[in-house]
Amino acid sequence: MSYLIRIVVVAMVLFAAVPAPQAQQPPADTGMTMTLDEFVNRITRSESALIARMRAYHPLVEVYVQNLAPDPRTGTVPTKDEYFLGQFDGQDGPKLTPLSPNKGSFSQGALLTRPFSTQYLPDGFAATAVPDWRVLDRQRYEFIFVRREFVGEARCLVFDVRPRGDSSDGFTGRIWVEDREFNIVRFNGISRNVDHTLSSFFRKKLTFHVDSWRVNVLPGLWLPAYVYCEEADLSDKPAFARMPRIKSQVRLWGYRLKGRTSQQELTTIRIDAPSVQDSTEEGTRQLSPVLSQRRWEQQAEDNVLDRLTQAGLLAPSGRVDQVLETVINNLQVTNNITIETPLKCRVLLTSPLESFTVGHTIVLSRGLIDVLPDEASLAMVLGHELSHVVLGHMLIDTKFAFADRLMVPDSDLMKTLRFRHPKEEEAAADVKMLELLSKSPYKDKLSDAGLFLKAIAANAKALTNLIQPHMGDFISEGAASLAELMQKAPQLAPEKLDQIAALPLGARLAVDPWSDRLDLIRTPSVPLTSAREKVPLAVTPLMPYIRYAEAPATTTSSKP
């Protein structure tokens, strides 16, 4: 039993409160002085350089919007959501090329089907990466120094900024500028010359307040990473606009993968002399039909995973995968399951809640891992995918073993890939999953997993774009076959502080926007003071910990 306890402890890293790392000591004051004009000119140069870079990079941009309604118990509740995934193009101003097959009311037909609706404009959300795409400068803007302030490890000067002329012709708000290279680290306010929505009745364009963050991905290179939008106070909005209360998150990643240099082709190819010899005996070189079939399925799996990685949708292998694989091993060991080809785990970088199996690789979305409240709930999701493997269900469509099947543009990839099982197989996997959990180290905590399912079911109609997956299985479709698990859970009680049915988005994982690497968010547990702070499955502000990137280590070879 002590062996099982040691296994479980390793997996609990993801779901345990870890003390936050201490910040590094601030740099010593250099004593450098300059006039306000000189300082603003440096800001303008840094911002101009960033805008030029954004024309060279084509990161992925994910926009998730929740419409809100007042609630006396929790403050607000989501009533509707919208989702858009696209690729950034800054050549002719910020624009997004759609990648997600279901664009919700972002689609152009929304105005025709809902005459009093509000249409969200993807390009407007892409523009939130920069306060003004015509650059902040002294000719058009007034800068007022506010204070010095540390933002994470970056010592910043804070300025209030407003247009000198018409307030609708630019950004009004506050900027934080780090004092080493004068890059804007954060800006908070509203750009009234940027349109986020279009009111369908009067064709009026409206804009949101934003809190936009950048991170230092390489020495000297700051790039937009997170944007939080909120419009809860509608007192300054025209009545005819029918503006909903909204909160939204905009995430950018895949800069290195989608940079201009990554698209260059090889101009020369070096062919080395063969250095590897085939050691297989002459009589055993021909694979048997069974081994050939397995190799064929492995080729299809590799093709799919490679293509998802090339599109910037799949995170590189890392620490989070190892934590997920530890939970899988817990389930296998306690149920005496032996699988010839070890199962691996990977993480999809998108927010919609989904899980699926590609051959012998289990894929969970970042959004799903974010909102799972505890390890038992994670074991439930992974146990369902493990059950498909144990029951011998088809794990990969072998048509993807043909190279041409995935030679499609990124905009068609998510429509091409589908990893869904028939309802009969889904129900059988649920039954097998319950059997696996009943013998696992998580058997005494299944009420928490049932509570998570109840939270999903309660929000399934309002949050269709979050809960309905793009490629995998719908997480609550099997709710009927999971009635036993849900019955073990208490009733949902939004007003109870000790009941956490689900976490908000962004609660567990942080994405490096340059490398797409995933890191666990290591923050101490914070006791709740009111039901308004529970916000299950909700959009919340994004405030990354800012640190300066370190120069890559260089090795020097000793001379003979």
Strands 344-348 and 361-365: parallel
Quote the pLDDT of residue 542.
87
Q: How confident is the model at residue 106 (pLDDT cuts 50, 70, 90)?
A: low
Least confident of 267-276, 519-528, 530-539: 267-276
Quote the pLDDT of residue 523.
77
DSSP sequence for 39-59: HHHHHHHHHHHHHHHHHH---
The whole-angstrom distance between residue 373's C-alpha and the CA centroid of its chain comes to: 17
Q: How confident is the model at residue 152 (pLDDT cuts 50, 70, 90)?
A: very high
- Is 288's pLDDT higher than 70? yes
- Which pLDDT tens digit goes with each residue over 222-238? 999 999 999 876 665 55
- Which pLDDT tens digit goes with each residue over 330-387? 999 999 999 989 999 999 999 999 999 999 999 999 999 999 999 999 999 999 999 9
Quote the pLDDT of residue 278.
58
- Is 113's pLDDT higher than 60? no
Task: Report the percent of the chain where pLDDT is more than 90.
Answer: 61
Strands 221-231 and 245-253: antiparallel
| Residue 507 · residue 485 · CB < 8 Å | no
Tokens representing residue 247 in the block: 């909160």
Quote the pLDDT of residue 119.
80
Separation between Cα atoms, residue 460 and residue 454, nearest integer Å: 10
Q: What is this structure's pTM?
A: 0.88
Q: Where are the alpha helices (DSSP H) in 311-374?
A: 319-334, 366-371
Quote the pLDDT of residue 197.
60
The whole-number average pLDDT for the span 92-99 is: 89
The whole-number average pLDDT for the span 469-496 is: 78
- Which pLDDT tens digit goes with each residue over 26-80? 344 445 678 888 999 999 999 999 999 999 999 999 999 999 998 888 888 999 9
Quote the pLDDT of residue 276.
57
pLDDT: which is higher, 330 or 203: 330
Q: How confident is the model at residue 8 (pLDDT cuts 50, 70, 90)?
A: very low
Given strand 118-120, what is the order of strands in its sheet?
Answer: 118-120, 197-199, 204-206
Quote the pLDDT of residue 223.
97
Tokens representing residue 357 in the block: 């199996």
Separation between Cα atoms, residue 49 and residue 320, nearest integer Å: 34
